[in-house]
């Protein structure tokens, strides 16, 4: 029997969003209590909030959208590795220690999860993936990387090398 885990975050008002992105809003559009046929809500949110997939077009402009991603990349067995450091970057030495050889999908479990609890000030002490670590993952055949935060890249670097790798 195959077990599956849904690792998606609930989406709702007050959740942490990337600075400058629109806040999440959920408003009633129709309600049975008002005589409408069904209860329907209107959503307003940026695509870069909560659990999301960065499509190739996230960086660079003009690349394919999320609809072009093969589903077999997004669904399947994954290695979950915990990185205990509290902030900074995940580097190639961390990946070597994690024993990721042969993995095609890697999910990083970090203390970042505790930073996602609510809106407010965007935390500056999250853990991200360094550009050399991103290159290491690609060179080792990893096709999907996930991390428990709104971005995989620690600091917005010129050219976004972690994202591009």
Catalytic residues: 58
Q: Single out the residue of 152, 127, 157, 149 nearest to residue 138, CA to CA.
A: 152
Chain centre to alpha carbon of residue 126: 13
By the 8 A CB rule, do 86 and 128 touch? Answer: no
Please, which residues have CB within 8 angstroms of residue 129's CB and are 6 or more apart in sequence? Answer: 89, 90, 108, 137, 145, 147, 152, 153, 154, 162
Q: Single out the residue of 61, 92, 90 nearest to residue 160, CA to CA.
A: 61
Please tell me what DSSP assigns to residue 87. S
């Amino acid at each position: 029997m195959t077990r599956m885990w849904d690792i998606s975050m609930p989406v709702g008002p007050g959740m942490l969003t990337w600075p400058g992105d629109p806040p999440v809003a959920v408003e009633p559009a129709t309600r049975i209590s008002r005589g409408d046929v069904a209860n329907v809500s209107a959503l307003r949110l940026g695509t870069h909030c909560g659990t999301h997939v960065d499509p190739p077009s996230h960086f660079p402009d003009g690349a394919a959208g999320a609809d072009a991603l093969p589903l077999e990349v997004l669904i399947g067995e994954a290695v979950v590795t915990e990185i205990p450091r509290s902030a900074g970057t995940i580097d190639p030495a961390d990946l070597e220690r994690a024993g990721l050889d042969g993995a095609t999908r890697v999910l990083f479990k970090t203390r970042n999860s505790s930073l996602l609890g609510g809106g407010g000030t965007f935390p500056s002490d999250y853990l991200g993936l360094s550009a050399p670590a991103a290159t290491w993952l690609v060179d080792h055949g990893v096709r999907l990387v996930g991390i428990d935060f709104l971005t995989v890249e620690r600091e917005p670097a010129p050219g976004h090398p972690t994202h591009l790798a």
